[in-house]
Amino acid sequence: MVLTPLDFEKPIIELEAKIEELRHLSHSDDININKEVGDLQAKADRQLRQIYAKLTPWQKVQVARHPNRPHLRDYLSALIDEFTPLAGDRLYGEDAALVGGLGRLYGRPVVVMGHEKGHDIETRMRSNFGMAHPEGYRKAQRLMDLADRFALPLVSFVDTPGAYPGVQAEERGQAEAIARAIARCLELRVPFVSVVIGEGGSGGAVAIATANRVLMLEHSIYSVISPEGCASILWRSAENAKDAADALKLTAQDLTRLGVVDQVVEEPLGGAHRHPKETVETVGRALETALDDLRGHDGDALRRERREKFLSMGRSGLT
């Protein structure tokens, strides 16, 4: 896999390129340089560990947006057996930015949905870079109805810069669709687990993440607005995005302390973009554990717990 290097990763990328060059040289010339390769690999791992142990919020934004990070369809293909996609909102049309359907998570029947960003320019254009239209959120409501009707647990994967803000989306009722999706989340009588796998942007994320358990990958982000958007409002310039990222408290660690997120799912050393398969497996196990914890709760208890969880946010310190 060819990685797109982030600025702060360049020293590591150079070391890894040297390691690959030495390995190729060893195979082609019958030269045993295992010790040199091992020493360089240990140095690269050490530097990688040091860098990722103290990432700034802005660096975490860059990692969360990395193009090699596993996306929704990677999780679906690896974790969901017998996945049957359901298309359309029965009102307007299909939205490729929000994918959902029926399947089995480790043998457990579930309804699953999430944002799909795409891996290349063709799939990114088709999925509108993960920015869903109103029909996407109305499809999400349809999937929630399905989960409730057949008493199936609901799992959602969040990865969006935010709902699409275009004129046509607004004409078709973007705000109303998001609000109704959030309201429907709060009414569900089935176990609902959500995981932020990349970006969790604004109401476009909350619309499918108002869950009993909200998980976040270690280097993902979750915020009311993007750092660039925040900077353009507060400083009148997107150049202050780093300052905005610091102020927004958008990291998984900050949000866990604030009680917005229930669990941080650790990523492999160097981030999910370096080890996508291992990351997907780790997320799968975390989802299974969360659903097991919710098993046996009756519908009224699940609904009540979810509503109290979200209605209580931000109340601490108020008199």
Which domain covers residue 49, as residue numbers? 8-54
**In-domain check, residue 316:** no
What's the structural domain count of the chain? 2
- Residues 43 and 66 occupy one common structural domain: no
- Residues 38 and 111 occupy one common structural domain: no
- Tally of CB atoms within 10 A around 173: 18
**In-domain check, residue 195:** yes
Contact 68, 276 (CB under 8 A): yes
- Residues 142 and 35 occupy one common structural domain: no
Burial of 295 (0-12, 13-18, 19+ CB in 10 A): exposed
**In-domain check, residue 247:** yes
pLDDT bracket for residue 42 (50, 70, 90): confident
Q: What are the strands, taking DSSP E only, across 48-134? A: 80-85, 98-105, 108-115
pLDDT at 137: 97
pTM summary value: 0.90
Contact 216, 196 (CB under 8 A): yes
**In-domain check, residue 47:** yes
- Residues 14 and 148 occupy one common structural domain: no
Question: Domain with 149 in it: what CATH number?
Answer: 3.90.226.10
pLDDT at 220: 97
Looking at residue 234, its amino acid is L
**In-domain check, residue 38:** yes
DSSP, collapsed to helix, strand or coil, labels residue 88 as coil
Q: Which residues contact 81 (CB under 8 A, 6 or more apart)?
A: 103, 104, 105, 107
CA distance 316 to 314: 6
- Residues 33 and 139 occupy one common structural domain: no
**In-domain check, residue 111:** yes
**In-domain check, residue 35:** yes
Instruction: Please report which helix (H) or strand (E) contains residue 154, including its range.
Output: strand 154-160
**In-domain check, residue 2:** no
pLDDT bracket for residue 215 (50, 70, 90): very high
- Residues 173 and 28 occupy one common structural domain: no
Q: What is the mean pLDDT of residues 163-168?
A: 94
Sequence-ordered alpha helix ranges (H) in 109-249: 121-126, 134-149, 167-171, 174-187, 202-206, 227-234, 241-248
Q: Report whether pLDDT(23) > 60.
A: yes
pLDDT at 319: 38
- Residues 165 and 275 occupy one common structural domain: yes
Instruction: Please report which helix (H) or strand (E) contains residue 44, including its range.
Output: helix 34-53
Give the percent of the chain with pLDDT over 70.
Answer: 92
- Residues 145 and 32 occupy one common structural domain: no
- Residues 30 and 121 occupy one common structural domain: no
Higher pLDDT pick, 47 / 199 = 199
- Residues 73 and 35 occupy one common structural domain: no
pLDDT at 318: 43
Q: What is the mean pLDDT of residues 64-70?
A: 94
pLDDT tens digits, one per residue of 281-297? 999 999 999 999 999 89
- Residues 94 and 225 occupy one common structural domain: yes
DSSP, collapsed to helix, strand or coil, labels residue 159 as strand
DSSP, collapsed to helix, strand or coil, labels residue 211 as coil
- Residues 74 and 103 occupy one common structural domain: yes
Give the pairing type, strands 213-217 and 263-265: parallel
Q: Report whether pLDDT(266) > 70.
A: yes
